[in-house]
Structure 1
Amino acid sequence: MTAPTQARQIHVAVAHRDPYVAAGIASLLRSRADFVVQSGFPDADGDGDPVDVLVTDYATGVHKATNVPSSRNRSTLKSFLVVTDQSTGWQIRRAVDAGVRGYLLHDCSVEELSDAVRCVAEGRRYLSCPVADQLLENISAAVPTAREFEVLQLIAQGLPNKEIGRRLGIGEGTVKTHVKAILRKLEEPTRTAAIGEAFRRGLLLEASP
C-alpha cells in the first residue's frame, strides 16, 4: 500500500502592527496543518527556512513590497498578504501596484484567510470580494506613479522642490513636472490641498519601520 502524500508545508510569517490582530492571525493559521507559522519578520540575513508569505498590515505591506531588496535574501520571501481595515479603492490600488499579492479585510473568515495564504504562496493573487469590487470601481482613476508618490511624501514633509530634487537625485524642473502631475491627478489647485486630498484617499501612509 502506498503511503498518502503529505501536503506541502507553507511557511508564513505574521508581522502585523496591531499585536492583537497579529496574535489572532497566527493562532488561526497554526490551527491548519499545512502552515508553519512564525511571529515577526523573516531573518534579514536569509538564514532559516524560506518564508512563502508575509501576513502584515497595510502600511507595512506597501512599504515592504515597494522596497524588496535585490540581495540574495530576496528569495526568502515570495509574497505579501495584507489584512487591514483600509478599504478605499485608492488604498487597494496602491497596494496592488506596489506588489502586494493578497488583500483581506479584518472581518474575513478563517477559511478565507487560509485560502488567501495558500493562493498567495502559489504565486497567485487573492482579493476578497469587497476589495475586488472597490478596486474595479477605482480602476479607471488616475493614480500617481511610484516616483510621484515619493515626491508627494516629501511635499507632505514640507520640503521645497529644490530639496525634493536633491533627496531623489533628480532636477528641480523634473520635480515641478511631477508636482503638476500630482495636482492634476488629485484634482486640487495647490500643494496643501493635494496633501489633504492624498490623506483623505489613503495615498499617504504613516512612516513605516
Structure 2
Amino acid sequence: MTAPTQARQIRVVVAHRDPYVSAGIASLLRSRADLVVRSGTADDEHGVDVLVTDYATGIDKATNATPGRQGLVLNLCLVVTDQRTGWQIRRAVDAGVRGYLLHDCSAEELSEAVRCVAEGRRYLSHSVADPLLDHLTAPVPTARELEVLRLIAHGLANKDIGRRLGICEGTVKTHVKGLLRKLGESTRTAVIAEASRRGLLLEATS
C-alpha cells in the first residue's frame, strides 16, 4: 500500500520593518500546516522559499540584487504594505517584487500569496490590481525626472537643482518640461500637487 504523499513544506521568513505587523504576519502564517515560518532579517535568504517583507525592503532587495543572487532574490519577495498608489505598485512590480499585498489583507489571501510566490508565480491582491492597471497607461517619469521633482517640491530653483545634481540649468529645464508633459500640468505648483496625488513624492518606508 502506497503511503500518502506529504504536502510540500514552504519555508518562510518574515522580516517586516514594523514589528507589530511582522508579529501579526508570522502568527497568521504559522497556523497553516504547509508553511514553516520564522522571524528573521531581509538578508536571511539561505534555504528560504519566500521572504515576506515591507515595501522599502522589497524594493531594495530587488533593485540591489547582485548578479549571482538575482534569480533567488527576485523570486522570493512578497511585500505587505500600506503603499497603494498606482505608481508605488508599478515601481515594485517593475523592480521585480513577486507578490504585493496591503496590510488589510485576509489570512487566506496572505497564505495564498505565499504559496504563489513559492511556486515562482506573481500575486497581486485584488485591491491593488485596479490602481496598477490604471497606472500602466500613464507616462512614467524617469529616475532623473523624479530627482528633479523632489527638489522642486523642496522649493529649489532650476539653478540650485542643477548645482545639487551636477547638471546644467538647461538640462534641468528639459526635465521640468518632461514632468509637465507626463503629469499633464502647466505649472510647477500643479505638478507637485499631481505628483503628490499619484504618490510620486511619498517615501518608500513601509
TM-score (norm 2): 0.78
Gaps of 5+ in 1: none
Please report the RMSD computed on the Cα atoms of aligned residues, expressed in angstroms: 3.0
Rounded Cα–Cα distance in structure 1 between residues aligned with 2:125 and 2:138: 21
Moved over 6 A (4+): none
| Deviation, structure 1 residue 177 | 3.3
- The counterpart of 2:119, out of the listed 119, 122, 128, is 122
d(CA) in 2 for partners of 1:180, 1:3: 68
2:181 is matched with which residue? 184
Counterpart amino acid of residue 64 in structure 2: V
In the alignment, does 2:69 pair up with 1:68? no
Contact kept, 8 Å, 1:11 with 1:37, in 2: the verdict is: yes
1:104 has 2:105 as partner: no
Which residue type is aligned with residue 66 of structure 2? S
Contact 1:161 1:176 in 2 (8 A): no
What's the CA shift for 1:184? 2.0
**What does residue 160 of structure 1 align with?**
161
Paired with 2:187 and 2:61, the residues of 1 have a C-alpha distance of 30
| 1:29 to partner: Cα distance | 1.1
1:126-141 pair list within 5 angstroms: 126-141=123-138
Tell me: CA distance 1:138–1:69, structure 2 relative to 1, closer, same or farther (3 Å): closer
Amino acid at match of 2:24: G
CA distance in 2 between counterparts of 1:4 and 1:145 reads 54
CA contact (8 A) 1:16 1:56 kept: yes
How far apart, CA to CA, are the structure 2 residues paired with 1:68 and 1:11?
23
Give how far 1:126 is off: 0.9
Instruction: State the alpha-carbon separation in 2 of the partners of residues 2 and 151 from structure 1.
Output: 66
Aligned length: 201
Give the share of equivalent positions with the same residue, in percent: 71
- Residue 6 (str. 1) matches residue 3 (str. 2): no
Asked whether the 8 Å contact 2:139–2:182 carries over to 1, the reply is yes
Which structure's CA Rg is the greater one? 2
- Unmatched segments (≥5 aa) in structure 2: none
How far does the alpha carbon of each residue in 1:124-179 deviate from its partner, in whole angstroms, 9 at most, with x for none? 11112221122223321222234433444455565612431x4xxx7765554333
